[in-house]
Amino acid sequence: MQSDIQISNQHLCLPITNIATDLGINASELTLFGNTKAKVSLSILNRLAKKTHAKLVIVTAVTPTPYGEGKTVTTIGLTQAMKAIGINSCACIRQPSMGPVFGTKGGAAGGGYAQVVPMEELNLHLTGDIHAVSSAHNLAAAAIDARLYHEERLGIEAFAEQSGLAPLNIDPQNILWKRVVDHNERSLRQIEVGFGEMNGPIHTSGFDITAASELMAILALSKNMKDLRSRIGRIVLALNKDGQPITAEQLGVAGAMAVIMHDAIEPTLMQTLSGAPCFIHAGPFANIAHGNSSIIADDIALRLADVVITEGGFGSDMGFEKFCNIKVNNSGVTPDASVVVVTLKALKANSGIGSEKCVNEPDLKRLKAGFKNLEWHIDNVSRYGIPVVVAINRYPEDTDDELTWLQQKITQTKAFGSSISEAFAKGAAGATHLAEIVNLATQQQSHFKPLYSNDDSIESKLMTLTELMYGAANMTLSDKAQQQLSWLKQHGYEHLPICVSKTPMSLSHDPKLKGIPRGYDFPISEFKLNAGAGFITALAGKVMTMPGLGLRPGYLDVDIDEQDKIIGLA
């Protein structure tokens, strides 16, 4: 079988105007970026204001493994299959970061015959939203250091007199806003800035990857431009020397940041290999932020299609949980069904038996042990009161005996149904049975309920997550986290939902704890306030907001051939 980039390069895309017209988007509501992608104006929401929302399906997965479970493949394949059986469907996915594209993970366009095309345009730059987020974020970083410099240089009284601005009295040891870049670069995690006679004062800073920026989460959670502008103003950039928060509004930079992101608030429309529409918008990581595409893209798609299929990052303990407790909290739009993606490889790797590398051979013992992980994810999704369909993403080496055993075991769970998907190899034709079952699931009565209330205390929200999501017996807070918790309560942020930042490779905080860990302590090392995005991040374990490049990065394979075609993208 050809590589993803080869399949994409050989495919003749339809004009994106055709895709838009079929979906019900007017030409005046499009800003074209070439022939294959377009921004969609938010004015469309005014025209469609009276249209009711369609069915919403959220795709998640079992605990991830290095082999990939095929969540985006399933999202795209299911969208294509829905269209093939006569259902007006649309996908909504996140924009890939170039960090993973050139690192280890690769792109996020799907794969095989279930991908968004042209995949290289999706994976590289797209329509510039990530660049806009980076620029707006770094403007705020520059503004903080400039204000700090001038107030320190002139003194508080002289600064106020000469500038006409109220002094902020920034504490250089409590600047919370780092810089960002859309690449993996471990050497930038911690830096010192302000060296030189005219550049001080010297203080510690650093870089995060752009996907970790609070602005990326704000882009994903905003309902319109007014909401985006308001959220940017609420961002807490630093503390003053009395320990009080300094916001982007107080610094006077919020308006300029919003202007930089003016066009980024519009989602991008592309197409799948079969010509199904797909919105791409925002790209927060699920292990660092809330890990879902934008509320705006969902809102537009839900007014145009009959079924909208979106996905949350990593397993159901990560992106799906944050979809239910953070995204729904902001959008008010609840899902009608969920799809849990699983592979035989993933279950064997999560079994806790044998080497995680030896998963291609038939091994019913490991499969039986690993099944507990799938069962847990099914139970987890069911806990939210929505129907669950299991998509078994088939690999070529999978045996019929093991697939039959797995499907039979799934009938003994709370799942509404299951289907073997071959969307990667066959496109829409490989997922039509899955589409039929998911369509039936969306017709069932949904009784969606979040795990906790905004009125619950921060400790109560965390205990709910650690016990129900991660199987921990107890939650512990470091001294630093205890102090931060007191500050959050004192300043009125207790009502915000919790976004746990942890490894995706285990239900716990420790990637080495496989299967279904139980009876351990779940450690919170620190809290980070995202007042603009509207959630509190609780850091557990070792999570890097700036990844590093591995031993053999993906960029080694990427080039341009003699026909001016991009090659080597995964």
Q: Which residues are annotated as a binding site?
A: 65-72
Longest dimension (CA), the chain: 80
DSSP assignment letter at 335? P
Q: Is the peptide bond before 497 cis (omega within 30 degrees of 0)?
A: no
Instruction: Sheet containing 498-501: give its strands across.
Output: 498-501, 535-539, 526-530
- Annotated binding residues for ATP, as ranges? 65-72
AA identity, residue 266? E
Contacts of 206 (CB under 8 A, 6+ apart): 178, 179, 188, 189, 190, 191, 546
Cβ-proximal residues to 58 (8 Å cutoff; 6+ apart), any chain: 310, 311, 312, 320, 323, 335, 337, 338, 339
Give CA–CA dist 341/350, Å, rounded.
14
Q: Where are the alpha helices (DSSP H) in 155-193?
A: 156-163
Amino acid (one-letter) located at 268: T
Residue 334, helix vs strand vs coil: coil
Sign of the C-alpha dihedral, residues 242, 246, 251, 252?
Answer: negative
CB atoms within 10 A of CB 309: 30
State the pairing for strand pair 89-93/110-111. Answer: unpaired
Q: How far apart are CA 215 and CA 33, in angstroms?
A: 23
Among 510, 544, 568, smallest CA distance to 207 is for 544
Nearest-5° angle of CA 337, CA 322, CA 214? 135
Beta strand residue intervals within 300-395, DSSP E: 307-311, 337-342, 388-393
Residue for token pair 């860990």: 517
Residues in the chain: 570
Q: Give the whole-angstrom CA distance, residue 433 versus residue 389.
A: 12
The SS3 of residue 177 is coil
Residue 90's beta-bridge partner residues? 308
d(Cα 207, Cα 33) in Å, to the nearest integer? 30
Can you tell me the distance from the alpha carbon of 351 to that of 63, in angstroms, rounded to the nearest whole number? 11
Distances (CA, A) of 541 to 62, 202, 486, 524, 526: 20, 30, 21, 7, 10
Q: Any idea which residue has 């919003």 for tokens?
A: 258
Start-to-end C-alpha separation, the chain: 14
Three-state DSSP at 82 gives: helix
Cα(219)–Cα(536) distance, rounded to whole angstroms?
A: 17
